[in-house]
Chains A and B, each alone.
Chain A
């Protein structure tokens, strides 16, 4: 067996409150495609950023051809022959194909000026190598998504790298384009390049990968030859632990339907969404990133207009046109992006908590500050918020406490349906447990919860029922007693 061209040993990276990578390892071999597998939040993207010099690891070694190297900037990665093709190509629509290919790797002539004729020739050669017929002078915006992808390929190849990282390269491609991509990957492999292939799709992993490495919760779980494992083995490694031990679910009495959604459609994002939400129930929505779950929830919250379908909420037709409508009817939404959508970071805690229900805390438009503080204090206490003062700005809180503020502000409106979108994303273990426990208490009090989550253990541990979405449609439904990790992941990947 060859020596690995790139080896990571014991790499760690910690962000405030989260251990994104915890002593992981990885080997890439020349002439082999290695799949990196893991759930959302397993640390794959962080690893890519470490490999491309965007993040500097807190600890551990990066070895290239057995030599330890330091990776501190994107130029370091380039120098060591590492190039990456990102999930959503970071490209410049108004610049030409040539300019995009050589965006950070320009050739200069002997006067120190950019040598465009040379770069244009090189661009043409690269595109020929990729077997595509694109005019290098066209502005990028005139290209199809697939061709844009190929341009980012050309850009990655322009630095003549030995190590190529592909972060979900097939995410936005059609079947035919994916076949083209496979051909390319094989060709790069046969030329002796080491390829790291990040994907959620098991069919493609088994189609073109030679080796696998599995991460879970920022930790290394296992690695080996793809021929030695089955899909079920990989899923088991991804999901790991028995989930019921970590999520002690409070059994709530499940009552009559509170909300019925029928045939909900959106022009582009989702279609034919049918489900029923009952009193005292936690309904989990699982799926890959981009499956359309958040879009459905935002439609229920009046943020996104729908093109067809009906919603019955509390026995009344419900057609929210603004979030205000939804809040008035007792449906609230804790968004995924806490810092941009959930909380107003530069305002104090108490103002965040009372914002949605200011009307109720005022007399003919004048805010009753004493009552406002009472309400804020009540919910801060109830959620065990840790803060120096209620007048402190939310930006000074930890991620977990910020999330408590967002949940608190919605609870203060006395909702009967609360939608939480990735409620524990990016928050520490302690706050995670508090949020989970709190959700259990809410349903015990007769609320209904819809929980969108990409974390399989969380969604399995907390939900009474799970709806799995795939490409904008409901792919499967599971009751609590029939959930298995394998079946859920299979439905979500559309395999």
Chain B
């Protein structure tokens, strides 16, 4: 066994004392690299979008109007947080929107059996958790790529919702249930929005300050080496899928409560918006890199842009065109910029 004592002996006896001088270990990157960070770039876009919106509408700065705007993205943003962790760990879940439909249908069904608001919320979250666990279990047990399995469960979960509900609609949720999606905690701050803020902080801490978060990065950067380092890679992946399912369930509770009804087509296409938020936030779609701060800012950027277009009465389909362009623009800008810089460097070199 190497004890602390022998270690220190080896260190002091065998090695020159100034060795450690070769290993400066400051974590503070210099100002310039901070300026170039993704999050900074995103903030610039947020500011641009903000002032554009002010120009577009005199009512934009009204607190209630701002508060209303948050409802457009909070539910998706809540799924984007665990999704960021999942994508950093080199996985993906395309079934989240279908999970919402399944959870919402389950709540609607429970409602007809007379469940109260709290039971309904627990059922929604429980169904989401199970759906996420099933995804993760199939993926890790049989070693099938996540994209394949979750495309499958995307159809499966929504298919179940259609079978149960058909053309029907579940309505008449109990009065207390409306709080989750329509209630306000303090002044103009909605319950949804406050929940999102708290979760963002929690996920930020989870990813950036805990052993779990560090292992997520390790798995995303090199799953083999992570396994060879004693990390139980499968268990971590299974947990992440379950976590995403849980928060899809949370989103289902909020959304169902907000619109007060359930149709099987609920939240159609949300999976792509959630993943867009994550990628826009600077999370590498190939895994291994990204931050919660980035995703947090990206959520607001998308919210501001859609809201601005709403102010201009842009139809929904055109909005999705703009969202697509925004994604390509924000992801593409730094890549193109780097190309230009290298090309310029090459030119000046050959000129000499």
The answer to whether B25 touches A382, judged by C-beta atoms less than 8 angstroms apart, is no
Complex Cα gap A307–B198 (Å)? 50
- Minimum CB–CB distance for A285 against chain B, Å: 18
Q: Quick one: CB contact mask for A128-140 with B, threshold 8 Å, 1 for yes?
A: 0000000000000
Partner of A389, one of B19, B23, B288: B23
Complex Cα gap A103–B27 (Å)? 52
The answer to whether A381 touches B15, judged by C-beta atoms less than 8 angstroms apart, is yes
Within 8 Å of chain B (Cβ to Cβ): is A356? yes
The answer to whether A445 touches B23, judged by C-beta atoms less than 8 angstroms apart, is no
Stretch at the interface among B51-59, B178-186, B221-229: B221-229
The chain B residue with its CB closest to the CB of A369 is B27
- In this complex, which of B1, B214, B227, B229 has the most chain A Cβ atoms within 10 angstroms of its Cβ? B229
Q: Which residues of B contact A386 (CB under 8 A)?
A: 22
The answer to whether B10 touches A441, judged by C-beta atoms less than 8 angstroms apart, is yes
Complex Cα gap A411–B2 (Å)? 8
Within 8 Å of chain B (Cβ to Cβ): is A380? yes
Complex Cα gap A377–B22 (Å)? 10
Within 8 Å of chain B (Cβ to Cβ): is A178? no
Q: Quick one: CB contact mask for A326-367 with B, threshold 8 Å, 1 for yes?
A: 110010010100001111111100110001101100100111
- Minimum CB–CB distance for B318 against chain A, Å: 39
- Minimum CB–CB distance for B307 against chain A, Å: 37
Within 8 Å of chain B (Cβ to Cβ): is A324? yes
Complex Cα gap A388–B15 (Å)? 18
Complex Cα gap A60–B211 (Å)? 53
- Minimum CB–CB distance for A115 against chain B, Å: 39
Q: Which residues of B contact A389 (CB under 8 A)?
A: 23-26
- In this complex, which of B7, B211, B228, B232 has the most chain A Cβ atoms within 10 angstroms of its Cβ? B228
Q: With A344-B225, A384-B15, A389-B26 in contact, is A356–B230 under 8 Å at CB? A: yes
The answer to whether A367 touches B209, judged by C-beta atoms less than 8 angstroms apart, is yes
Complex Cα gap A322–B217 (Å)? 20
The chain B residue with its CB closest to the CB of A346 is B221
Within 8 Å of chain B (Cβ to Cβ): is A391? yes
Q: Which residues of B contact A377 (CB under 8 A)?
A: 20, 23, 25
- Minimum CB–CB distance for A415 against chain B, Å: 8
Q: With A341-B224, A378-B7 in contact, is A351–B214 under 8 Å at CB? A: yes
- Minimum CB–CB distance for A310 against chain B, Å: 22
Within 8 Å of chain B (Cβ to Cβ): is A221? no
- Minimum CB–CB distance for B284 against chain A, Å: 10
Q: Which residues of A contact B11 (CB under 8 A)?
A: 378, 381-382
Q: With A340-B222, A358-B214, A446-B1 in contact, is A381–B23 under 8 Å at CB? A: yes
Within 8 Å of chain B (Cβ to Cβ): is A447? yes
- Minimum CB–CB distance for A343 against chain B, Å: 6
Within 8 Å of chain B (Cβ to Cβ): is A48? no
- Minimum CB–CB distance for A425 against chain B, Å: 16
The answer to whether B25 touches A373, judged by C-beta atoms less than 8 angstroms apart, is yes
Within 8 Å of chain A (Cβ to Cβ): is B350? no
Q: Quick one: CB contact mask for A300-341 with B, threshold 8 Å, 1 for yes?
A: 010100000000000000000011101100100101000011
Within 8 Å of chain B (Cβ to Cβ): is A387? yes
Q: Quick one: CB contact mask for B83-122 with A, threshold 8 Å, 1 for yes?
A: 0000000000000000000000000000000000000000
11 more contacts with CB within 8 A, not counting A347-B221, A350-B25, are A335-B228, A345-B221, A346-B221, A346-B289, A351-B218, A358-B214, A365-B210, A382-B15, A384-B15, A387-B22, A391-B26
